[in-house]
Amino acid sequence: MTLPARSQDPAAPLPDELPLAEAFGPTLQGEGPAAGRPAWFIRFGGCNLSCSWCDSAYTWDSSRYQLREEIRHTPVEKIDQAVPDGALVVLTGGEPLLQQDASAWSRLLDGLRRRGCTLHVETNGTIAPNDRTRELVETFIVSPKLTNAGPHRGRQDPALNPGWAAAARDGQAHLKVVCASAEDVETAVGLARDHGWPQRQVWVMPEGTTVDALNARWPAIADAAARHGINATHRLHVLAWGDKRGH
Q: Compute the residue count for the chain.
A: 247
The annotation places the binding site for Mg(2+) at 56
Q: Say how many Å lie between the first and final Cα of the chain, rounded.
A: 13
- Distance in angstroms (rounded) separating the CA atoms of residues 111 and 117: 9
Phi, psi of 143 (to 5 degrees): -120, 80
| Cβ partners under 8 Å of residue 33, min gap 6 | 139, 141, 174, 201, 203, 231, 233
Phi, psi of 90 (to 5 degrees): -105, 115
Q: Is the dihedral of CA 223, 225, 229, 230 positive or negative?
A: negative
The annotation places the binding site for S-adenosyl-L-methionine at 53-55, 94, 143-145
Rg (CA), the chain: 17
The DSSP bridge partners found for residue 22 are 43
The annotation places the binding site for [4Fe-4S] cluster at 47, 51, 54
- Distance in angstroms (rounded) separating the CA atoms of residues 168 and 174: 7
The annotation places the binding site for substrate at 28-30, 43, 92
The annotation places the binding site at 28-30, 43, 47, 51, 53-56, 92, 94, 143-145
